[in-house]
Amino acid sequence: MNQTEFRMFAPWVQAATLPEAEIEAMTFEDCLARALELGLRRFDRKTLARNCDIHYPHFADLVAGRRPFPATKLHLFCMFTGCDYPRQWLALQERKAIEEYRHLSQQAIGEFVQQAFAQRGAA
């Protein structure tokens, strides 16, 4: 039987984003689940998994957090779901870590300077 293939493909859309306060209140798995909800309006689960290069039987486990989500496939997931929530969450966590590191670094430098002045004062 000679059958022509008709491929359905959703056009590119600007990725959906949320305010930082909402992203901060969510877990990474919540972000993935909300992105999946938006993605299922564009594709079915099997097509979405195939487009994201994710083995379909593991797809539900990845979104639910029972398996680690591969970082190399996150950009595909966000692109095909049309949702940037997971990347927003990661960017927010990165900013928090950088701020914490800066604070700890400044605190360590301050303690070092205080010790140096205390040693000079004692000498």
Residue 10 inside a domain? The answer is no
Bridge partners (DSSP) listed for residue 16: 83
Judged by phi (left if over 0) then psi (alpha if -120 to 50, else beta), residue 69 lies in beta
Query: Considering its fold, how many domains does the chain have in total?
Result: 1
Residue at 95 is within a domain: yes
Whether residue 11 lies inside any domain: the answer is no
For residue 43 the two structure tokens come to 């594709």
Say if 13 falls within a structural domain. no
User: Which tens digit of pLDDT belongs to each residue from 70-102?
Assistant: 999 999 999 999 999 999 999 999 999 999 999
Residue 49 lies in a domain: yes
Chain length of the chain = 123
For the stretch 22-26, contacts whose Cβ atoms lie closer than 8 Å and that sit 24 or more positions apart, written own/partner, are: 23/85, 23/88, 23/89, 23/92, 24/92, 26/85, 26/89
Residue 1 has pLDDT above 60, yes or no: no
Is 2 domain-assigned?
Answer: no
pLDDT for residue 120 is more than 90: no
Interval 22-45: pLDDT, tens: 999 999 999 999 999 999 998 999
With respect to residue 8, please indicate whether it lies within any of the assigned structural domains: no
Range of the domain at 53: 20-122
Asked whether residue 118 is assigned to any structural domain, the reply reads yes
| Bigger pLDDT: 119 vs 108 | 108
Q: Which pLDDT score, from 0 to 100, does residue 118 have?
A: 86
